[in-house]
Structure 1
Amino acid sequence: MGIFSRFGDIINANLTALLDRAEDPAKMIRMMIQEMEETLIEVRTTSARVIADRKELERRMDYLRQESENWEGKARLALSKNREDLARAALAEKSAIEENLQIAGKELKAIEEQLEVLHEEIAQLQQKLDDAKAKQKSLVVREQTARSRMDIRRSSNRDKLEEAFNKFEAYERKMDDLEAQVESYDLGRTGSLMDEFSELERNDKVEQALADLKERMNADSGSKN
């Protein structure tokens, strides 16, 4: 089914509005152009047929003019020979021919008017077709631009993700290095650093307890004496 049903639909169509409502603008504009081109061919074909009719009518009018002159010449000849009867008959034929010539002239005028209308229609159709093709080019450029921008964004997103992963891996590597440095200080030791501090704290408590005991014993010894 076509987009347009008649010539007027194409001329009055708002291409931008139709494309804005279309689900697939690229497909819609291709269909528009195809239908416009087909309609333009039909109008041109009609114009060619009308032009052929005009040429045929012009040849017929030329023939009628020639016949009218011939009958006038016959009437003159008859009068020169004192044959008024034949002159009247010749003039009657001339009059009938001129009536046909007048009818043909009206037909030619109608054809000229029709051709003028067809010429305007072809010009309007061609302009509409040019507009549609311009919009098609615009759509192609917009589509290519959108695809390029999408490719750039996708590439940019990939770069950002890769950068983030690299930073995370670098951070993990740094933490591994720090932990490795800490562990390197514990190499060759029998216990951990915390164990050594705990041992020091226990030694201090024992020494303090020993001093306290000595002090009490000295105090007890002095009281007995």
Structure 2
Amino acid sequence: MAKQSIFGRISTLIKANVNALIDSAEDPQKMLDQLVRDYTNSIADAEAAIAETIGNLRLLERDHQEDVQAAAEWGNKALAASRKADELRGAGNTADADKFDSLAKIALQRQISEENEAKAIAPTIAQQNEVVDKLKDGLNGMKVKLDQLKSKRAELLARSKTAEAQNKVADAVKSIDVLDPTSELGRFEDKVRRQEALAQGKQELAASSLDQQFNQLEDMGELTEVEARLAALKAGGSAGALGS
């Protein structure tokens, strides 16, 4: 009964559609991990059941072989007894000849008994051989499925890590997007531009103040010349340019 249950589990697991299970799972990775555990445990159970079945089969085969050998031995004993009886009867010893014929009959009866036991066990041996072959095929199929599950799990994990890395890169690129006015880099660039504008304003203001100072010097030079000419007039000179 236990072997039949194991065989049923093997058939069910072999027929399972891995891709369909993955598509319907909320968390494919957890589902695959559980499937790997289930398959591994089922394979261990199947191997134990198959080993037990093979052991019982070998016992049956050994018993069958012993029955066949025993039947052959009893047949040889019957032949030997029959020949001895013929030999004694030919020598005129009828009493001993009958005795060996009786022994031959007993041996033949034992031979028939052993042959019947061998025949009776033969169908069971054939059936058990079929069961063992099916269990072995099922076990091999489960091992193939287990390899597929492990490959799917590795593929899924690799895809998950790749997607995670891509998302991190995308987030990083977005955070330093120079075209994004709300980003830190955009605000820093705006601050720098305001500082540059302020410096430019201060430079222009300083230049304007310097020009004004030079203009004041020119005005003072003109006043000095006027005073000089006025002094020359008072001294009796003309109002023309000095030194003319």
Report the TM-score, using the length of structure 1 for normalisation: 0.74
Matched, 1:88 2:91: no
Give the alignment of 1:13-162 within 5 angstroms. 13-82=16-85, 83-160=100-177, 161-162=183-184
Letter matched to residue 77 of structure 1:
A
Label 1:11 to 1:136 Cα distance change in 2 as closer, same or farther (>3 A): same
Label 1:8 to 1:59 Cα distance change in 2 as closer, same or farther (>3 A): closer
Where does structure 2 lack aligned partners over 5 or more consecutive residues? 1-7, 86-99, 178-182, 212-244
Query: Percent same amino acid at aligned positions?
Result: 23
* Structure 2 CA distance for aligned equivalents of residues 56 and 6 of structure 1: 26
Deviation at 1:167, TM superposition (A): 2.3
Deviation at 1:188, TM superposition (A): 8.6
* Structure 1 CA distance for aligned equivalents of residues 205 and 38 of structure 2: 81
Q: Do the aligned residues in 1 keep the contact of 2:11 with 2:138 (CA within 8 Å)?
A: no
Please report the RMSD computed on the Cα atoms of aligned residues, expressed in angstroms.
2.3
* Structure 1 CA distance for aligned equivalents of residues 11 and 77 of structure 2: 54
Deviation at 1:68, TM superposition (A): 0.9
Partner of 1:210: none
* Structure 2 CA distance for aligned equivalents of residues 165 and 132 of structure 1: 51
Question: 1:30-70 CA distances to partner (integer Å, 9 max, x unpaired)?
Answer: 00100011111111111101110121112112211221121
* Structure 2 CA distance for aligned equivalents of residues 68 and 134 of structure 1: 56
* Structure 1 CA distance for aligned equivalents of residues 126 and 176 of structure 2: 74
One of 191, 194, 197 as aligned partner of 1:175: 197
Specify the SS of the correspondent of 1:23: coil
* Structure 2 CA distance for aligned equivalents of residues 169 and 16 of structure 1: 55
* Structure 2 CA distance for aligned equivalents of residues 9 and 108 of structure 1: 26
Where does structure 1 lack aligned partners over 5 or more consecutive residues? 190-225
Give the alignment of 1:209-220 within 5 angstroms. none
Specify the SS of the correspondent of 1:81: helix
Deviation at 1:185, TM superposition (A): 5.6
| Length, aligned pairs only | 186
